[in-house]
Amino acid sequence: MKKFAGLFAAGVASLALTACNEEKAKTTEAAAPADAGTVHLYTWTEYVPEGLLDQFQKETGIKVEVSSLESNETMYAKLKLQGKDGGYDVIAPSNYFVSKMAKEGMLAELDHSKLPVIAELNPDWLDKPYDKGNKYSLPQLLGAPGIAFNTSNYKGDQFTSWGDLWKPEFANKIQLLDDAREVFNIALLKLGKNPNTTDPEEIKAAYEELKKLRPNVLSFSSDNPANSFISGEVSVGQLWNGSVRIAKKEQAPIDMVFPKEGPVLWVDTLAIPANSKNKENAHKLINYLLSAKVSEQLTLAIGYPTSNMKALEVLPKEITQDPAIYPTQKVLQESQWQDDVGDAIELYEKYYQELKASK
């Protein structure tokens, strides 16, 4: 679940202090044998709906402590602060943070022999540039941003390109995701540039293009962005596929299309920190969380497509055959994947804050 905590350049130290104050852990209630141990899971709040871990504790006797992950940046800061002492056993970084953390030696190599669930995962989600060979992570849920619209006012064929959002008819009507990379992605794609560029001139050109879009922007939202579509406050905007599912469950008149330039995809993954003190149980938990039954339960709860192909077979067609929620094979194969941009994130964030402050 992509949520930026703010200007990453503000520094790991300040984030780490905030992270320590904000962490709230909840422990599953079933009692575990004294020798079964505990595994510490650090994941997005929405990814552990009530009852999801009950069967794992029942089958293994392993107690699971869950901490709520609010942003990739805060997660990164917490792990840096912990150093070799450890604290978490399984974490859920988005793909572009997998590459960053792997480069910095923050992730343990996975033992694939202890993860038979890999055989059930969609091969189109595996072996991507952010983690070749899935050495450090396995994909769990897929995020794909598109152009969402109120079906009472618009039709899908009105939105074929990200550039359509720049049309003057949408003045003060558009909602954008409150995420620097997501917003810059659409401008870079419109300009025919790599959305993972680190070139300062290309990033600046995207900023200048976004300044032209700014009069059309009514709001920025990444915290339950479907709500504004459900309430009717917004009728056009950038939205994630899981959010579309949430809005449709509320009977909102909404649909979404992926422009011809494609979405820039992201995946929330499961990985093991290098400083984990319980890697054996961590592998067991990852295998459980990615299993067909658990994956089905999670997608039903929050809407995001699962990587487990067996779960796909039993999920309702209203989810799996809705191209706004489950991107087609063609969209997946033609899309780009978001990746780490290193220190260039500081420039993205600087321009993004300036963009939001302007009108």
Q: Give yes or no for residue 115 having a pLDDT over 80.
A: yes
Half-sphere CA count of 153, side-chain side, radius 13 A:
16
How far apart, in whole angstroms, are the C-alpha atoms of residue 234 and residue 111? 46
From 65, 82, 107, 72, select the one nearest 20 (Cα to Cα): 82
Token couple for 327: 């991107």
Counting residues of the chain whose pLDDT is more than 70, the rounded percentage is 90
The pLDDT score that the predictor gives to residue 324 is 95
Q: CATH 3.40.190.10 occupies which residues in the chain?
A: 8-142+266-323, 145-262+339-357
What is the rounded average pLDDT of the residues 58-84?
89
| 273: β partners | 107
If pLDDT is split at 50, 70 and 90, which confidence band does 36 have? low
pLDDT average, residue stretch 165-193: 96
Domain 145-262+339-357, CATH homologous superfamily name and number: Periplasmic binding protein-like II (3.40.190.10)
Return the exposure string of 111-128: e unless at least 16 CB atoms fall within 10 Å of the residue's CB, then b. eeeebebbebbbeebeeb
- Asked if pLDDT for residue 246 goes beyond 60, the answer is yes
Give the pLDDT score at 49. Answer: 87
Alpha-carbon distance 26 to 13, whole Å? 25
Burial of 330 (0-12, 13-18, 19+ CB in 10 A): exposed
pTM over 0.95: no
Lowest-pLDDT range of 36-40, 99-103, 196-200, 235-239: 36-40
Nearest to 156 by CA among 166, 146, 143, 167: 146
Structure confidence at residue 69 (pLDDT): 87
Angle between helices 12-22 and 72-82 (to 10 degrees): 90
DSSP string, 98-134: HHHHHHTT-BPPP-GGG-GGGGGB-GGGSS-GGGGGG
CATH number of 8-142+266-323: 3.40.190.10
- List of residues 6+ apart from 171 with CB closer than 8 A: 215, 216
Using the predicted structure, report yes or no on whether residue 223 has a pLDDT greater than 80. no
Helix or strand run (H / E) with residue 229: helix 227-231
CB 79 within 8 A of CB 273: yes
**What pLDDT is recorded for position 201?**
98
| Contacts of 162 by beta carbon, 8 Å cutoff, 6+ apart | 147, 186, 187, 189, 190, 259, 261
The pLDDT score that the predictor gives to residue 1 is 61
CA 340 to centroid of chain Cα atoms: 13
pLDDT reported for residue 155: 94
Strands (E) in 162-263, as ranges, are 174-176, 217-220, 236-240, 254-257
